[in-house]
């Protein structure tokens, strides 16, 4: 999934102007902790687990469970700009929503941890690329 997000980001970055991203004055370690550990844990709970749980309570079909999750995930990433909204929000939102909904058929525990860990791996790759590019 990281390759799809990066490819989409690269294409959109050349088509759409995006203002420079300003990270808080945090250390690289604090940024790493936030985007690789804290964000995946809470985003999986609130942006995949909760909307898919609600959609399942209303007997929503599988695709609508994914769409409910994807809409919230993309909406959260809209604040970072249109490129992040499309690349991370929509593509990542689809992937993480699909992952959670798929594994939810087995158990909530499996769905949660498979999705959170894949999100953490994805964010680790993005962190490394941001560090290499000098944006951190």
Considering only residues 22 and 101, tell me which one the structure prediction assigns the higher pLDDT: 101
Note the pLDDT tens digit of each residue in 5-48: 555 555 545 455 555 556 567 888 898 999 999 999 999 999 99
Note the pLDDT tens digit of each residue in 81-97: 887 788 888 889 999 99
CA triplet 115, 117, 122: central angle to 5 degrees? 95
pTM reported for the whole predicted model: 0.82
Residue 101 banded pLDDT, cuts 50, 70, 90 = very high
CA triplet 98, 104, 107: central angle to 5 degrees? 155
DSSP assignment of the chain equals: -HHHHHHHHHHHHHHS--PPP---S--HHHHHIIIIIIHHHHHIIIIIIHHHHHHHHTT--HHHHHHHHHHHHHHHHGGG-HHHIIIIIIIIHHHHHHHHHHHHTT-HHHHHHHHHHHHHHHHHHHHHHHHHHT--
């Amino acid at each position: 999934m990281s390759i799809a997000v990066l490819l989409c980001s690269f294409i959109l970055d050349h088509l759409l102007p995006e203002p420079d991203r300003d990270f808080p004055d945090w250390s690289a370690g604090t940024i790493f902790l936030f985007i690789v550990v804290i964000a995946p844990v809470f985003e999986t709970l609130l942006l995949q687990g909760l909307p898919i749980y609600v959609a399942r309570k209303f007997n929503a079909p599988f695709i609508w469970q994914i769409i409910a999750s994807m809409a919230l995930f993309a909406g959260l990433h809209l604040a970072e700009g249109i490129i992040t909204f499309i690349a991370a929000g929509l593509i990542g939102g689809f992937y993480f929503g699909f992952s959670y909904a798929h594994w939810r058929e087995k158990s909530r525990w499996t769905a949660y941890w498979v999705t959170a860990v894949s999100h953490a791996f994805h964010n680790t790759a993005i962190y490394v690329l941001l560090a290499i590019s000098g944006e951190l």
